[in-house]
Amino acid sequence: MARDTPRQPWKPQQIRIKAPLSLSQRSSIFLTRHTIVQLDKMSFEHTAIILLGPYDDFPHANGKMYAPLRDSLAPTNTIANLQELAMAARMAQVPIFYGMHPLHSHGQRNIWSGADSTAVAGGAAGDESCEADFYDVLEPKPSNGDVVSEQHWNHSAFANTDLNSQLKRRKITNVVIAGVASETCLESTARYAYELSYHVTILADATASTATTAKDMAATLTWPKTMHEVTTVSEWAGALFHY
């Protein structure tokens, strides 16, 4: 029987948890909130998520890069959206490829004269502290087929790394890009992927910028003209899970 009214789109909700829970427990909470009618596995068979820089240093309130991103994180509920994206990917077995930049405490980035001077000066993600840990729920899961690619020296997760070969090895043709920061690593990686003939989707509410207006303008003016698709976590997951 046909439905009289269209099904309402899935609305991501921030998960408020008092005590730490395992991924399986979080997934159970997720499943009780979103009734999945059918998993569209075939359409996403050659799809992967590229997640950029999910170190504690960026979304954690005590991280060195949190303050510059704070005003951009809140309006689009970026942190909760990234967590929902990760949980949706794990339930659908869509692999996540991690694009991480080098850590600072051992001076890796200082040996290259072309390194991002702002990040080097700020000492972001020093590996002697929790700032270099993966943020909660965003940790790689080998059982999901997740891959941590070689660290990129500057902005693009493809340049001078094995990311492209890792994707090709798994016959990935479509990439969904999220993470920080939108005006540096995210956009540089997306443009590089486009030039390599991947189908590129940017999740506009799963990223953050040091300038909120810059992110908003890119999402509405630049990315729609230079990428294949610009959407939200809710809309992307809605296509993955027919409900």
- Higher pLDDT: 70 or 215? It is 215
* pLDDT of the residue at 187: 95
* Whole-number Å distance between alpha carbons of 215 and 224: 13
**Per-residue pLDDT for 19 more than 60?**
no
**Per-residue pLDDT for 77 more than 50?**
yes
Cβ neighbours of 48 (radius 10 Å): 25
Instruction: Sketch the domain layout of the chain as residue ranges.
Output: 37-242
Cβ neighbours of 243 (radius 10 Å): 14
* pLDDT of the residue at 58: 66
The class level of CATH for 37-242 reads alpha beta
Would you say 181 and 208 are in contact if contact means Cβ atoms under 8 Å apart?
Answer: yes
> What are residue 148's DSSP bridge partners?
98
Residue with tokens 């001076």: 107
Would you say 210 and 69 are in contact if contact means Cβ atoms under 8 Å apart?
Answer: yes
- Higher pLDDT: 8 or 68? It is 68
Give Cβ neighbours of residue 157 (< 8 Å, ≥ 6 apart).
Answer: 50, 52, 99, 149, 163, 185, 189, 192
The mean per-residue pLDDT over the stretch 25-36 comes to 50
What the block records as the tokens of 132 is 């270099």
- Higher pLDDT: 124 or 204? It is 204
**Per-residue pLDDT for 64 more than 90?**
no
Would you say 176 and 236 are in contact if contact means Cβ atoms under 8 Å apart?
Answer: yes
